[in-house]
């Protein structure tokens, strides 16, 4: 039986991915203690696990506990993260550290734990969520963008290290996603919904393809051009 683990198990994107992969599978939803415990229809079993991504020292034990209960994780999707408060971060280094820790350090730690297990087994799929915000960091959200840039670089190197191991690492690079995290913000061009992101990720998991998954695909061309936009213009770009 396939074991699908979503770390960030209450996120809109994570839940939509889980629902699409649930038929006949064991679904593990790992999320911070408290809050709702959503169901996933079609799953053979749904397991809820208390998991705080920021507690990086506990990542090994968390994965151990999951696999001891349900068996080896076949597909792991990392959808936890924070957008953070850019204005506060420009005054408060604590906010900078909070954003970078959750969106880069914790991600890199958990990816390392999961990749090591999967490499030893010679199989598995990892999904890391980067963002177009990390492709060329903008003044309007440079703290969040720099965390995603770091994660993107880390995941790219890890994907190369896993090449030939039987482990498939997918780097999802969505643009602006209309959902809870971006509530109250004006959508950017080529915005997507959690449903659309989940559709693209699941299609890539099932069908294979390139390491980098741009969502929607048009953003790949847009950000190829972004690399050559003069800094005097780029610094005025909105979020």
Catalytic residues: 144
CA–CA separation, 71 vs 17, rounded Å? 20
Question: Nearest CA to 21 among 32, 5, 38?
Answer: 5
Report cis status (omega within 30 of 0) of the bond before 216.
Answer: yes
Closest CA to 212 of 150, 160, 143: 160
Who's near 59: CB < 8 A, 6+ residues apart? Answer: 109, 110, 113
Going by DSSP bridges, is the β-strand pair 26-31/45-50 parallel, antiparallel, or unpaired?
parallel
């Amino acid at each position: 039986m396939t074991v699908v683990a979503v770390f960030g198990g209450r996120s809109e994107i994570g839940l939509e991915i889980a629902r699409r992969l649930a038929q006949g599978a064991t679904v593990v939803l790992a999320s911070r203690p408290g809050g709702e415990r959503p169901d996933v229809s079609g799953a053979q079993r749904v397991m809820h696990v208390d998991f705080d991504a920021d507690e990086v020292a506990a990542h090994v034990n968390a994965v151990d506990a999951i696999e001891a209960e349900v068996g080896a994780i076949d597909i792991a999707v990392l959808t936890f993260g924070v957008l953070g408060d850019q204005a506060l971060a420009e005054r408060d280094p604590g906010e900078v550290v909070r954003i970078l820790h959750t969106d880069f350090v914790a991600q890199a730690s958990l990816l390392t734990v999961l990749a090591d297990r999967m490499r030893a087994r010679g199989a598995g799929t990892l999904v890391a969520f980067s963002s177009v915000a990390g492709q060329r960091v903008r003044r309007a959200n440079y703290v969040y963008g720099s965390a995603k840039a770091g994660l993107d670089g880390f995941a790219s190197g890890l994907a190369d290290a896993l090449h030939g191991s039987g482990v498939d690492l997918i780097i999802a690079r969505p643009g602006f996603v209309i959902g809870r995290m971006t509530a109250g913000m004006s959508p950017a061009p080529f915005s997507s919904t959690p449903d659309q992101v989940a559709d693209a990720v699941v299609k890539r998991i099932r069908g294979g393809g390139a390491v980098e998954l741009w969502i929607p695909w048009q953003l790949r061309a847009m950000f190829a051009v972004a690399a050559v936009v003069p800094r005097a213009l780029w610094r005025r770009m909105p979020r």
